[in-house]
Each structure stands twice: as C-alpha cells, then as structure tokens.
Amino acid sequence: MKLSVIGTGYVGLVTGACLADVGNDVLCLDVDADKIRRLRAGDIPIHEPGLDQVVARGVAAGRLRFTTDYAEAVEHAGVIFIAVGTPSDEDGSADLSHVLACARELGRRIERDTLVVVKSTVPVGTNDRVRAALAEELAARGVRCKVTTASNPEFLKEGFAVDDFMRPDRIIVGVDDAHAADVLRALYAPFNRNRDRLQIMDVRSAEFTKYAANAMLAVRISFMNEMANLADRLGVDIEHVRHGIGADPRIGPHFLYAGVGFGGSCFPKDLRALIHTAEQSGEPAAILRAAMQANARQRRVLADKIARFFDGRLAGRTIALWGLAFKANTDDMREASSLAIIEALAAAGAHVRAYDPAAMDNARRLLAGRTGIEFAPSARAAAEGADALAVVTEWLEFRSPDFDWLARTLQSKAVFDGRNLYDPATVRAAGLAYFGIGRP
C-alpha cells in the first residue's frame, strides 16, 4: 500500500518506518528541512532503541523516503497519516494548529479519493474539524472527490516504541465509513495475525480512548507515589506493598512503581488537555486534577530528602545525579523530573554533576546558561568525590553499581534512590546511608 505520513517526530517516524518494514511504500513529510536532510543521511533525530535499524532497512529497500514537499506526499498516496505535534496551549488545551494547518495543506492539493488518518493525540471532536478544513479547501478549488477521515491513536511507550508498533496490545481505529475501516483493517493485518487486536469504533470514542488510557496510567503512578510518601511516615516498605497489591488480578503489577513522578511528552500534556476538556464540558475532573497536583509535589521529593539529610545546608555540596531523561531508553527531557530536582538543589546552593547515557545533548540545550550544573562523561565520573548520589532515571547501567567503591568515593556516604532500584540492606552493608521512595 502507498502511504504518506505527515510529521517525522516520535510518532510519525516510528509509524512510517514500521509500516515500511512490512512492505508498504511510505513517504514521510516534515516541514523541517534540516530534519529531512538528517533522515536522508541516515541520522535519526530521536533516541529510540531499534528505530535506526528499521529506518535503515526501509531506506535500503526503497520503501521509505523523506520529503518536505506536500504536493509529492499527496500525489504519492491515497492514505495519508497526520502525525504532527499537539503541544499544550497556555490554557492547558491541546494546540491543534499544526493538525489543522496540515489538513488545509492536504485539502489544497488532494485531487482524488483519499483517506486521511489522524494519528496525533487529539481531543474529542478534532476529526470533525479536520474533515471541515479539508472540505473547505476542496470546495474553494471546486474539487469533487471523496475525502474521508479516521482516528487511529498511537499507544507507543518511549523506549519500546518499535516493539509496541510491531506487536501491539490493541489497534484502535475510529471510523464512520465502512470503506475506511476495510482499508485500515488490511493495512494492519500484518500486525494482527495470531489474534485479533483491531478494535473498530466510532471516531469520537477512538479519540477519547487515547486520553482515557494515559489518564488511567498517570493516576496509577500518582496513587502509588502518594502511598509511598505515606509509607515513609509509617515505617512501611512500599516495595513489599507493590508486590502484595500487584498480585491481585484486578489490579495487576504494571505502573505500580513509586518514584520521582511522571514526565515526558504524553502524560502531563494529555492530562492537562483532558482537564481542559472536562472544564469545557462542566465536569470537575477531580481525580485528574489530584493526579497532576500529586505529581507536581513528587517531582521535588528526592531533592527534599537530600536537603533534610544535610540539615538544609546544601551550599558547596556536590550532588551526583544519575539520569536526566524522564525515563530510561529515551533522550526525551520534556517535563523530566530531573529538571525540578536540579532546580531545587541549585537554588539551595548545591552543585549538581549529572550523567545520562542518552539525554546529555538535550539536557545541555535545556540547561544552557544555568549555574550549579555540570555534565560528566560517565556515571563513575559523576559520582567520584561527590557528597552524595541521587538516582533519577532507571537506566540499565545504574542497576548494579559498585557500592563498595561508592562508599569510598562519596564524601557523605549517602545514596538517594529515586527509582527504588536497590536493595536497602545491600547498600547499607557497604557502609552507605540509603534513602528510597517509600522505603524508610
């Protein structure tokens, strides 16, 4: 099938590359000429495990190409995916300007029957607006052809996006046209062989399903973090609690890890957008608001623990920070908890020496000009001679450090484990003070 994908960000590039990998002829468009130049040169602009190989296979086979030309993208395909960004607007709503601008660019060029699939995360009713923008542009040119729209939200976890696309839990398709459903059923057939993962529903329900899923996951994280903070006060180990409640099949073990709060490009943005939608609809969205408020507090919990350990006297202290990205296996720094931790420590006069396996370049750009922060070339270099160590991101290389060496090099012999990676008894046996999240 010939496909065009508008947008080569996280969602668009993974979508285009994976669809090309199963034999489709895919043309990816982006208005950022530099990004297209890099992609044509084989330089992947995001850190996503396995994506570089998938892109390379598609390009080598001639099934994956890149362009900045809308006319070329429209001429190439009868199925066009919109996968552009929907950042938070000032009022918390999803900024749909890129999505609607894309629809108008397509409407100014389409000359034949076309299916436009909205892959971007968008609030309920967006497909109606996309359809209206397309119709208005077609009418202005006097073009008569059937242009239908569909909702096909993504459910990709950063760090596991390729695997999630190739082996999906579910494929959500929202349509109000039987032919569109047939086209998307055929397109996703290679990912749907051993059991039927395709769920066909109406467009508005598909749009809402994406937001409801992210909201549910964010609420679970904030709930567990609140339980962990209470566990700290009650002398309870939240890790035991996690295993105990996760064994209940009604709850399950996923997204029950206490930590430093959620970040990234999805959960904070989508909760804000859903809260805005609830406000516009007259619903209080009390649980969603509570999850956001709890997360805002959680982002500072580790810095507060460090400050208490040093009795508030952080001036002149060096704190080693392991992990900058909002989660492991990505270089995404958007709304990362590390930023709040660095800000709090630096404001108290501490010097932060940070290391991350993938996010250093993004962190340098975000923190350019800030005082009290330096970047180390390795985890060991970050920790050497520091007063204490704070673990913020759950990278694999941080899972089993040399605690005896840390005890020798950390001046105040303290480890602050923001991801509960370590066994407290093992850390303490090496002569280190251990502070986790909900692990008194």
Mind telling me the catalytic residues? 266
Instruction: Record the tokens describing residue 52, joined without a space.
Output: 């570089």
Rounded to 5°, the CA angle 63-82-26 comes to: 5
Instruction: Record the tokens describing residue 384, joined without a space.
Output: 């050497």
- Residues in CB range of 340: below 8 A, 6 or more apart: 261, 299, 300, 303
Q: How far lies 231's CA from each of 69, 226, 415, 439, in Å?
A: 56, 9, 19, 7
Q: How far lies 404's CA from each of 10, 270, 389, 434, in Å?
A: 40, 43, 14, 13
d(CA 162, CA 184): 19
79 φ, ψ to 5°?
A: -125, 120
| Residue 4: strand pairing partners | 27, 80
| Residue 28: strand pairing partners | 5, 66
In order, the DSSP letters of 121-139 are ---TTHHHHHHHHHHHHHH
Crossing angle between the packed helical segments 267-281 and 203-234, to the nearest 10 degrees: 110
From 341, 351, 356, 272, select the one nearest 317 (Cα to Cα): 351
The burial of 391, by beta-carbon neighbours within 10 Å (0-12 exposed, 13-18 middle, 19 or more buried), is given as: buried
From 168, 173, 172, select the one nearest 191 (Cα to Cα): 168
CB atoms within 10 A of CB 43: 11
Residue 344 is given by DSSP the state H
From 85, 145, 154, select the one nearest 115 (Cα to Cα): 145
- Residues in CB range of 25: below 8 A, 6 or more apart: 1, 2, 3, 63, 76
Task: Specify the amino acid at residue 360.
Answer: M
Instruction: Record the tokens describing residue 363, joined without a space.
Output: 């962190």
